[in-house]
């Protein structure tokens, strides 16, 4: 996508038909201004008991199909998203005074996509994916370091297979809310929503 301009959501004449175009431009600008991890996003899921959980993860890919992150599928978030495959995301770029909220349905990325991303990671990170039994109780730091050393010995070279329990999840958006700071707290809030992936997007402004 082109990054020739940054969409100003206060100007109705600028609004594209696809919210991913605004998101793409805002993320691109954040990459140039945020000091750390412009792709960081909060990810909210729901437990079996109906209790919400939220944590920070990193966005690793995005296009019209959705927003992708990677995780241990046997972790707390992996379990919750398997049981209730829907999620909410939030990006906050303090340097730009902007926020994006997303709600959508969660699906698995295919094996080829997961393999390609896993193989792009550093060797240490790939070993860590094997060593960490994510979200499970850990007796001591030494136990984790021993598990890492075991994987380091098992895979001495750069050829490290992707663990079967480690993959990506795609959030297919049904709702985007774009927020940008305004004078006197008269912020702009713009919502794109649709009922399904095949449905057309509709837009609505909200009071700040």
Catalytic pick from 185, 189, 194, 205?
A: 185
DSSP class of residue 123?
H
What secondary structure, in 3-state letters, does 107-119 show? EECCHHHHHHHHH
User: What is the rounded CA–CA span in Å between residue 63 and residue 54?
Assistant: 23
- Of the candidates 28, 170, 44, the one whose C-alpha atom is nearest the C-alpha of residue 98 is 28
- Of the candidates 1, 5, 9, 3, the one whose C-alpha atom is nearest the C-alpha of residue 206 is 9
What is the bridge-based pairing of β-strands 166-180 and 188-193? antiparallel
User: What is the rounded CA–CA span in Å between residue 92 and residue 165?
Assistant: 30
46 within 8 A of 80, measured Cβ to Cβ: yes
Active site residue 126: no
Active-site amino acid positions:
185
């Amino acid at each position: 996508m082109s990054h020739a301009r940054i969409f100003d959501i206060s100007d109705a004449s600028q609004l594209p038909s696809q919210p991913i175009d605004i998101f793409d431009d805002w993320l691109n600008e954040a990459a140039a201004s945020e000091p750390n991890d412009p792709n960081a996003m909060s990810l909210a899921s729901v437990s079996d008991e109906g209790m919400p959980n939220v944590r920070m993860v990193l966005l690793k890919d995005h296009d019209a199909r959705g927003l992708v992150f990677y995780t241990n599928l046997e972790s707390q978030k992996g379990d919750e998203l398997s049981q209730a495959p829907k999620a909410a995301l939030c990006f906050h770029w303090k340097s730009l005074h902007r926020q994006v909220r997303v709600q959508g349905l969660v699906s698995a990325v295919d094996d080829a996509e997961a393999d390609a991303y896993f193989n792009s990671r550093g060797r240490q990170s790939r070993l860590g994916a094997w060593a960490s039994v994510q979200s499970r109780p850990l007796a001591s730091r030494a136990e984790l370091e021993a598990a890492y050393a075991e994987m380091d010995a098992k895979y001495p070279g750069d050829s490290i297979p992707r663990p079967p329990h480690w993959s990506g999840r795609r959030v297919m958006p049904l709702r985007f809310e774009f927020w940008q700071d305004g004078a006197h707290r008269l912020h702009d809030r713009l919502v794109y929503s649709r009922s399904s992936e095949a449905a057309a997007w509709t837009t609505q402004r909200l009071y700040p």
